[in-house]
Amino acid sequence: MKQTYVIGVDFGTDSSRALLVDTSNGEVLGSAVSPFKRWKEGKYCDPKLSQFRQHPLDYIESIEECLKSCLSQVSFEVKSQVVAISIDATGSTPVAIDQKGQPLALSSKFSENPNAMFFLWKDHSSIKEVEEINRKAKDFDVNYLSYCGGAYSSEWFWSKLLHLARTDQDVFDAAYSWVEQSDWLPYLLTGHQDATLIKRNVCAAGHKALWAEELGGYPPEAFFDHLDPKLNRIYKSIDQKVYTADEVVGNLSGEWAEKLGLREDVLITVGAIDAHVGAIGAEIEPGFMCKVMGTSTCDMMVIEKEDLKDKLVQGICGQVQGSIVPQYIGLEAGQSAFGDVYNWLKNLLLWPMRNSLRSSASSGSQAVLDFKEELEDNLLSDLSELAKQQPVTENSELALDWFNGRRTPNVDPSLTAALVNLDLGSSPVNIFQALVEATCFGSRAIVEHVEEQGVPIKGVIGIGGIAKKSEYVMQTLADVLQRPIKVHRSDETCALGACMLAATAAGVYPTLSEAMKGMGSGFEKEYLPNPEMKDIYDIRYKKYNTLGSAINKL
């Protein structure tokens, strides 16, 4: 077999990262990370309004920087044998584009308008609009929400477009279409100047935009006319045909080929949602939930169509044929906040220090800066070590994990978190322990919810920063779920999964499943559940659900 190489680029919330991989065995020859500069400065966001936007220039500058850095680590001979590039990205993260397929924020008129930028996945500014979508969808004989779990989300494609239509007429009128980040980035590398050439991926279309093969594609025009007649113009710009991520968008443009020192015949593949591609890199298989554990979680499962027996799993984020691995139905669930819950406590505890030391730090005291950095770096790990030594009791402090609403089961972005059983003896360690336990209970709610509907989960595959770094969280999760958790060896499973897709699209492997076997790096650790913790966590989990029901009624 001819020696070939591929590149996978993973666009996360804060940065892009690229891997250059040997297709014969998955060996990483080059890697690089490039942060989003404007995002890092906090531009275009307003957390109080749940507004989180990203400028397209962050993406353009970042992908060029990380690809150049990655390619600088290999020889000219290796560069000459790169055959394909695949990109995954966050979702749903859509943007308004013109007829050339360019985001409106790249024009001088809208360059500083957040509404002309990408609406990041965590943007919940469309809560009113999603309530309207869920209400009006009930007016149809056909349940167009059935394949996305029965309820639509403020994190998703159409609710964000409806919010734009209601809040910024200038941007909406200038928009030719509305496109996912995971569709626009591959289009960017092809250099095309015609928005009709954008190929939309089944992953984002199915899980975020109401596309369902069983229902004939997207809902009909009458559905969107009923939501708001304004949407029909954009709806008509969207092709009903969608593609799996192992298919080809086109070739690398001459401009990008020159920038990167690659051939113009390098293939660019169809995009996909980052977490789903991470599940590919983590070698997902039926019977396992792949859990991407970062600021939030994305929980993915694959299952044979005949095993699901035409059931519709309700209360999740969609079931779509081919959305993860083409031969399986892909299921998505998740938690809107996971690591963000721990960071909330960290920021709360550090606020007095940060506020008090602000004047000292500005005076240039290196000792103060070093002390501040050390505290910030070590606080959560120190809390974890102390929490390990502290027993869990029936009446310990108890928390709800809905700091950013609830994604699954049964999406409800309006829900809020809670912390109870506090007394004057409650310490930061007690509270941290309760918060970790709550995020694990949130995971258990998802597992039990999908299993009740016929999707067996015998174990969990953990990927992401928390899975790699926090033994305390992972062991607690195994104990709460009473299931083993395997942690994948790769630090960059999303980018590795993109490499597997690139190798499949280039014909190096006949199927994605074979690419996963040939390029996978296996697992580095397994957490086994402690059976002695089962009874106490069963009791605590029942209290968690009781608390959730009470909060839900407030």
pLDDT, tens digit (0-9, with 9 covering 90-100), for 139-198: 999 999 988 888 899 999 999 999 999 999 999 999 999 999 999 999 999 999 999 999
pLDDT at 389 over 60: yes
**CATH number of domain containing 96:** 3.30.420.40
pLDDT in tens, 35-49: 999 999 999 999 889
Same-domain check for residues 21 and 159: yes
**Rounded Cα gap, residues 108 and 105, in angstroms:** 7
Report the domain count for the chain: 2
Kindly write down the DSSP assignment for every residue of 99-124, as one continuous string. Answer: TTS-BGGGSTTTTT-GGGSEE-TT--
Residue 377, pLDDT score: 84
Q: Which stretches does DSSP call E strand in 23-167?
A: 28-35, 45-46, 51-54, 82-89, 94-97, 118-119
Same-domain check for residues 113 and 256: yes
- As beta bridge partners, residue 302 has 330
DSSP H or E run through 334: strand 329-335
Query: Using an 8 Å Cβ cutoff, are 325 and 512 in contact?
Result: yes
Q: What percent of the chain has pLDDT over 70?
A: 98
Segments forming the whole domain that contains residue 130: 5-282+491-519
Q: Which two tokens stand for residue 239?
A: 């092709």
Residue 197, pLDDT score: 96
Same-domain check for residues 320 and 413: yes
Q: Band of the pLDDT at 365, cuts 50, 70, 90?
A: low
* C-beta neighbour count of 383 within 10 angstroms: 23
The one-letter amino acid at 438? A
The mean pLDDT value of the chain amounts to 94
Same-domain check for residues 214 and 299: no
Same-domain check for residues 344 and 259: no
* C-beta neighbour count of 376 within 10 angstroms: 14
Residue 242, pLDDT score: 97
Mean pLDDT of 22-29: 96
* C-beta neighbour count of 428 within 10 angstroms: 16
Q: What is the dihedral of CA 267, 271, 272, 278, to 10 degrees?
A: 40
Q: What are phi and psi of 112, to 5 degrees?
A: -115, 15
Same-domain check for residues 136 and 19: yes
Packing angle, helices 512-519 and 493-505, rounded to 10? 130
Same-domain check for residues 183 and 304: no
Range with lowest mean pLDDT among 96-100, 230-234, 373-377: 373-377
Helix, strand or coil, per DSSP, at residue 76: helix
Q: Band of the pLDDT at 119, cuts 50, 70, 90?
A: very high
**Rounded Cα gap, residues 269 and 409, in angstroms:** 32
Residue 552, pLDDT score: 80
Mean pLDDT of 482-499: 95
DSSP H or E run through 131: helix 127-136
Residue 488 CA, chain-centre distance (Å), reads 17
Packing angle, helices 493-505 and 274-281, rounded to 10? 80
Query: Using an 8 Å Cβ cutoff, are 300 and 443 in contact?
Result: no
Residue 311, pLDDT score: 87
Contacts of 495 (CB under 8 A, 6+ apart): 8, 9, 10, 17, 18, 19, 31, 88, 281
pTM, to two decimals: 0.89
The one-letter amino acid at 519? M
Same-domain check for residues 170 and 297: no
Give me Rg for the CA atoms of the chain.
Answer: 23
pLDDT at 366 over 80: no
Residue 285, pLDDT score: 94
Q: What is the dihedral of CA 364, 367, 372, 377, to 10 degrees?
A: 130
Task: Tell me which DSSP letter residue 318 carries.
Answer: -
pLDDT at 32 over 70: yes
Measured CA distances, 377 to 361, 374, 386 (Å): 17, 5, 16
Same-domain check for residues 385 and 528: yes
Mean pLDDT of 472-488: 97
The one-letter amino acid at 383? L
Same-domain check for residues 316 and 229: no
- Which of the two residues, 366 and 108, has the higher pLDDT score? 108
**Rounded Cα gap, residues 291 and 183, in angstroms:** 23
Q: Please, what is the Cα angle at 323 between 320 and 324, to 5 degrees?
A: 130
pLDDT at 364 over 60: no
pLDDT in tens, 187-229: 999 999 999 999 999 999 999 999 999 889 999 999 999 999 9
Range with lowest mean pLDDT among 39-48, 107-116, 288-297, 354-363: 354-363
pLDDT in tens, 310-338: 888 988 988 999 999 999 999 999 999 99
Task: Tell me which DSSP letter residue 219 carries.
Answer: P
For 56-67, the three-class secondary structure string (H helix, E strand, C coil) is HHHHHHHHHHHH
pLDDT at 8 over 70: yes
Residue 292, pLDDT score: 92
Question: What sections of 284-365 are H helices per DSSP?
Answer: 305-308, 339-362
pLDDT at 479 over 90: yes
**Rounded Cα gap, residues 388 and 367, in angstroms:** 31
- Which of the two residues, 55 and 465, has the higher pLDDT score? 55
Same-domain check for residues 141 and 166: yes
Same-domain check for residues 410 and 474: yes
Residue 413, pLDDT score: 81
Residue 523, pLDDT score: 95
Query: Using an 8 Å Cβ cutoff, are 519 and 488 in contact?
Result: no
Sheet with 118-119: list strands edge to edge: 45-46, 51-54, 118-119
Mean pLDDT of 441-469: 95
Which residue, chain included where needed, has tokens 């957040």? 114
Measured CA distances, 434 to 344, 364, 383, 510, 544 (Å): 13, 38, 12, 48, 10
* C-beta neighbour count of 466 within 10 angstroms: 21
Q: How many helices (H) and strands (E) does the chain have?
A: 21, 21
Sign of the alpha-carbon torsion through 253, 254, 259, 264: positive
